[in-house]
Structure 1
Amino acid sequence: MSHGHSPKEKVIYVGDSRVKKRVNPLLQPDYSAFPGKSEAFIPNFLLKEWMVGCVALVAFLVLTISEPAPLGYPADPNNTGFIPIPDWYFLFLYQFLKYPYASGSYVVFGTVLIPGIAFGALMLAPFLDTGKERRFYRRPIASSMMIVSLIAVVFLTKTAWNEYQHELKELNIIPEHIEREEKAREAAMEGKPTGQPKPNQEIALVDKDDPAMELMKKAGCLSCHGTDLKGGVGPSLRGLGDSLSQDDILKVLHEGPMKAQYEQALAAGVTEDEITSIAAWLAKQKSSTE
């Protein structure tokens, strides 16, 4: 407040005490400010679940890229001692389909109806169970269904595995991967080569400057097996000599599944002597063994 126009006059500002200073900022209150209310499922809760799912998916993809799943042994359709069994996460459905009310005339019931009801109920659970209570013992229906489902899955999985082991013992069948491991272990104890390549070890080409490499290019082999023979459309040929001899390779070409490619090579101008030299070179391709 001032009374004159002198520049040296002291100016005093007087505030209005009736206007109160705002203490609380203008923030939108969240659901916790309202008793009895919970966070909205769509979009709040669902967005959080999607974010967690994306992180888990990225972690899974990193794991599959860094540690690729190894290929199993080649399938043999003539092996009558093979008992097919699904992966462990499908064992409960595999066992469920063995029961009379889920197979035979009721196979649609076991393969479509029951799994459809189970997965449909799981997808509709957020819309069916809309209660505000979050403690599991205060939600008897949802908790009971979850517990019963878990018990059923564990029981069916365990039963399927026990029956598989009993069937192997009854028919006196040893799974191929176990049989190969036992033979490799016995060979290692006797100081002999196990026939198994060392893990994470690249198999080098033997005599890679041999003219057979150019002959294979002429025959069209590299288009399937790769220019470095590490495989492509066809399997890798590195280490082929560990399992096949020269005569075995020629037999596969003349009488086996590679007969059509053998005829194409002849049509491309490759002679029988050149094919024999290719087979001899491939028989030399052996991996370093223990």
Structure 2
Amino acid sequence: MVERASDERKAASDMDWPWPEGGGGGAAEKSEGEKDASERGGQEEGDKEEVQEEVKRGWSEIRLAIEELSAAERDRGGGKLAAPSPPPTLPFLALAHLLLQVLDKIGPTMAVLRLDVQRNIERLQELYLLDPSKYSILEEILDKEVQEGTARKVDSCSRAILWLTRSMDFTIALLQRLGEDSDQQSFAQIVEVAYIATLKPWHGWISSAACKIAMKLIPDRKMFVSLLVGKGQDCAALKEEVAKLAKLLLPFLDDIHAMMAKFRLERLKST
């Protein structure tokens, strides 16, 4: 999982301790009791963080995505009080990593799509790490490549953002249809419907042919659902979480699609 920008800010702020009264040079050392209390407090805080991490390890990818999006929405100033800021890069990358895990659960049939997603994540992450402050929002990356005239190239980060967004479109469409369908369709049919609605319009004949072959190897529906459910959850809880995820993710993806359209990159296709 990619570390959040807010965590980085917190780490930086924790280092900025205020000086005691009387200035920095003449500060008295803490008593042994104060040191012990401070150490106990630090240990307790560390224990809490370990417990929280252990709990999260039992969460489903869907629940982790909800957590990621909820934090991103707060950071962006979402809600009625302020207009949201442009889509941030770190949460987008974190969601893309979770998308990989969902595709893994579908199985080898998604190998081609999974490989594309992995390459796009690596390309985008590599650019972000060159200058995290500069590329903290996706729009800065798009603007850079548009100005350079490289945004439409096959290996551009702009295309990576576009195809990762489309892959998320596919994933949420799949999960929604899985929750809405009452066993009337096979899982393969549900995947195909989601594919036709999201990815197929942008695929050339080579990509479409590869996906058509992959559709014949889709796993059993019950097996896929069982893999999606986190520890201590059941199918009813999974359905509720899919609804929560859709409520948070769809507006986030809409913002990215609008941003791509702004740079006239929304309609790029593959081979």
The answer to whether the superposition gives a TM-score over 0.5 is no
Task: Report which of the two has the higher share of helix.
Answer: 2
TM-score, normalised relative to structure 2: 0.30
Task: Name the structure, 1 or 2, with higher relative contact order (CA <8 Å, separation 6+).
Answer: 2
- Structure-1-length-normalised TM-score: 0.28
